[in-house]
Amino acid sequence: MDGLPKVELHLHLEGAAPPAFIAGLAKEKHLDIAGVFDERGNYRYKDFWDFLKVYEAATSALQSPRDYQRLVLAVLEESAKSGVVYCETFVSPDFCGGRDVGAWKEYLHAMQEAADEAERDLGVTLRGIITCIRHFGPEKARETARCAAETAGSWIVGFGIAGDEKIGVPKDFRWSFDCAREAGLRLTAHAGEWGGPESVRDAVHDLGVERIGHGVRAIEDLALVDELAETGIVLEVCPGSNVTLGIYKTFRDHPIAELDRRGVKVTISTDDPPFFHTTMAREYDELHKAFDWDEGQFRRIARQSLDAAFCDADTKARIGKLLEA
Ligand code: HPA
Ligand code: ZN
């Protein structure tokens, strides 16, 4: 399945940083973040909550627009190796200039330059979704939403929320989502990974999102599954992430195939690939092994993913041709 053209909608930019890249930056800056890595140089964490801490510690090595420019190139090189032709990545003004609009614009400019270069040289198109971070609280989310509203356009195409799903409730963030929507941004929210089906329902009803990050625990409430299918809400499913973090024991236990059979629009992503020891190519291989999904199934899901992408129609038409290859 390596050669199949792929569309990825759920990728945290810092979480996609190769550990050697972060280690190299830390060395250049004489930062001691050794605790982030294990003896083999992989990221080390105990569980999801520890992962969030390690994520932020690793991110502390990224300190300038230039660092983010290099990061985007490093990440897209990996995407290209897996056959990804279109990718949407979560970017956070929290980590890029501390939610200051002027600083954020400089970071964004640097990332876009790298994305242009990668589109030319690697054939991967990238767009950004600004995410607020749930455990940083609603007040900081409002500042993030202002950054998003100021930079909404053809490259920043969406707004979302990541972080610790167990803190607060979606409606705490309603102001931020309304602000982003009014600026023309499309909306997604992490839910139904650590929270149950009610967290998916709340994100859909209280924030008005059209996509859900993960959302897989909707399977525990079949009335909700039917609602998602009928309303066409799209799930950004990250099976390898869920298996690595222990939400499901194996790929065969993962509900992606059942959700798909029940008519929910599922897509396939990696979340934070080096943290979860995965790549888009590996997700495809594991799904093929677990559910005997064939090329036709993967092509249908890639097309479904592109339909759910937040980019403009011209970009979709161009990528659509690549998916037919
Ligand atoms: N889930 C939630 N929040 C995150 C993640 C994730 O995988 N990565 C970075 N922030
Ligand atoms: Zn995620």
Quick check: 1 pLDDT over 90? no
- CA distance linking residue 238 with residue 233, whole number of Å: 16
Model confidence pLDDT, tens digit, residues 151-209: 999 999 999 999 999 999 999 999 999 999 999 999 999 999 999 999 999 999 999 99
Give the structural domain span for 114.
Answer: 9-18+68-310
Rounded to the nearest angstrom, the distance between the alpha carbon of 272 and the centre of ligand 2 is: 7
Sign of CA dihedral 189, 195, 200, 206: negative
Residue (of 152, 69, 158) closest to 118 by Cα position: 69
What is the per-residue pLDDT for 212? 98
Q: Name the phi and psi angles at 89, rounded to 5.
A: -120, 145
Residue 38 counted as domain residue:
no
- Active site includes 77? no
Residue 52 placed within a domain: no
Ligand nearest to the Cα of 13, by number:
1
Residue 255 three-state SS: coil
Task: Report CA(12)–ligand 1 centroid distance (Å).
Answer: 7
Average pLDDT over residues 105-117: 98
**Percent of the chain beyond pLDDT 90?**
98
Contact 189, 195 (CB under 8 A): no
In a domain, 98, yes or no: yes
The arithmetic mean of pLDDT across residues 97-120, rounded, is 98
Q: Which atom of ligand 1 is nearest to the CA of 163?
A: 3
SS3 assignment, position 267: strand
CATH number at residue 156: 3.20.20.140
Whose Cα sits closest to atom 4 in ligand 1?
163
Residues 7-47: tens digit of each pLDDT:
999 999 999 999 999 999 999 999 999 899 999 999 999 99
- Residue 40, in any domain of the structure: no
Cβ neighbours of 110 (radius 10 Å) = 20
Ligand 1 centroid to 317 CA: how many Å? 30
C-alpha angle 277-17-52 in degrees, rounded to nearest 5: 75
240-298 pLDDT, tens digit per residue, is 999 999 999 999 999 999 999 999 999 999 999 999 999 999 999 999 999 999 999 99
Which parts of 82-137 fold into alpha helices (H)? 101-122
Q: What are phi and psi of 19, to 5 degrees?
A: -60, -35
Q: How many domains does one find in the chain?
A: 1
In a domain, 23, yes or no: no
Q: Which ligand is nearest to the CA of 236?
A: 2
Ligand nearest to the CA of 129: 2
* Contact in structure between 271 and 241 (CB atoms under 8 Å): yes
Read off the pLDDT of each residue in 46-60 and give the average, rounded to a whole number. 97
Q: What span, in angstroms and rounded, lies between the C-alpha atoms of 46 and 17?
A: 19
Which band of pLDDT confidence, cut at 50, 70 and 90, is reported for residue 323?
very high
DSSP-derived secondary structure letter, 37: B
Asked if the structure places residue 3 within a domain, the reply is no
With respect to residue 168, please indicate whether it lies within any of the assigned structural domains. yes
Residues contacting ligand 1 via CB (< 6 Å): 12, 15, 55, 162-163, 190, 271-272
Output the CA torsion 118→121→125→127 (10° steps).
20
For residue 233, pLDDT over 90 is answered with: yes
Q: Residue 290: exposed, middle, or buried by beta-carbon count in 10 A (0-12, 13-18, 19+)?
A: middle
Max CA distance (Å), the chain:
54
* 44 occurs within a structural domain: no
Question: Which of 22, 271, 278 to mutate for ligand 1's pocket (most ligand atoms within 8 Å of CB)?
Answer: 271
Residues in contact with 121: Cβ distance below 8 Å, sequence separation at least 6, in sequence order: none
